[in-house]
Structure 1
Amino acid sequence: MKSGNRKGRPNYPVEFKRRLAAAACEAGVSVSKLSMANGVNANMVFKWRREYRAGLFDDMPAARTTLLPVVLADTSLKVAPAPAAATSSAVEIIFANAVVRVHADVDAALLRTIFQSLRA
């Protein structure tokens, strides 16, 4: 990979940064090995990965987010409101740009579907 013509620090093309950032987001990828294989400092790849997850490379057509359709399989399910005096426990999970709040009475299959859609 040939860097830009700026003196001092290299100026890498946006497509190169986006490609490495996307590769660094894949499961089981070692950022250190990825950066060494491409002749880039690992700290730069971590920075690019943060920017990629924050959507800063979205100006490129290949990086645009695609929304998935939501289909309810069983519309007969009714959720009763929790009693006012009862306290419910909840867990908040922050993943990239999504926040998922899981309450104690959540269905395991629904939770699995939510996490699978976050990984996509």
Structure 2
Amino acid sequence: MDTKIQPVISSPKRGPYRRHTTEFKRDVVARSQAVGASVSRVAREFNVNANQVFAWRKQFGSVPCEAAAGTCQLLPITLA
């Protein structure tokens, strides 16, 4: 009876996770919320997964692109 014994080859360990700064995440989120922007294209541009961009959008909240650009104005209110 011939039995070939093959060694068990384990898969290589995954490398360390990439850690992105908060500024980087906010920049990606701001670009993904621009008018006409595609989340998948922005993700490819920054070399991250589109699901990660959606998670960051949820994490930082939906900020309209005008607010991110600083073009919003606050209105004064008076309480009677």
TM range (shorter): 0.5 to 0.7
Q: Which amino acid aligns with 1:36?
A: R
Identity of aligned residues (%): 34
Superposition misfits of 4+ residues, deviation over 2 angstroms: none
Q: Tell me how far 1:70 sits from its aligned partner.
A: 5.1
Higher relative contact order (Cα pairs below 8 Å, separated by 6+ residues): 2
In the alignment, the residues of structure 2 paired with residue 27 and residue 67 of structure 1 have an alpha-carbon distance, to the nearest angstrom, of 19
User: How many residue pairs were aligned?
Assistant: 58
Q: How does 1:92-103 map to 2 (within 5 A)?
A: none
Larger Rg: 1 or 2?
2
* Inter-partner Cα distance in structure 1 for 2:40 and 2:18: 19
Q: Given residue 37 of structure 1, which amino acid in structure 2 is its aligned partner?
A: E
Secondary structure at the counterpart of residue 29 of structure 1: coil
Displacement of 1:8 in angstroms is: 2.7
Alignment of 1:1-120 (within 5 A): 8-53=16-61, 68-69=74-75
Give structure 1 stretches of 5+ with no counterpart.
Answer: 1-6, 56-61, 72-120
State the TM-score, normalized to the length of structure 1.
0.40
Is the Cα–Cα contact under 8 Å of residues 21 and 49 in structure 1 kept in the other structure?
Answer: yes
Greater shift after overlay, 44-53 or 28-37?
Answer: 44-53
Quick one: distance in 1 between partners of 2:26 and 2:49? 15
Relative to its length, the structure with more strand (as a share) is 1
Q: RMSD across aligned C-alpha pairs, in angstroms?
A: 3.0
Unaligned runs of 5+ residues in structure 2 are: 1-14
Larger helix proportion of the pair: 2
Q: How far apart, CA to CA, are the structure 1 residues paired with 2:62 and 2:45?
A: 25
Q: Which amino acid aligns with 1:52?
A: F
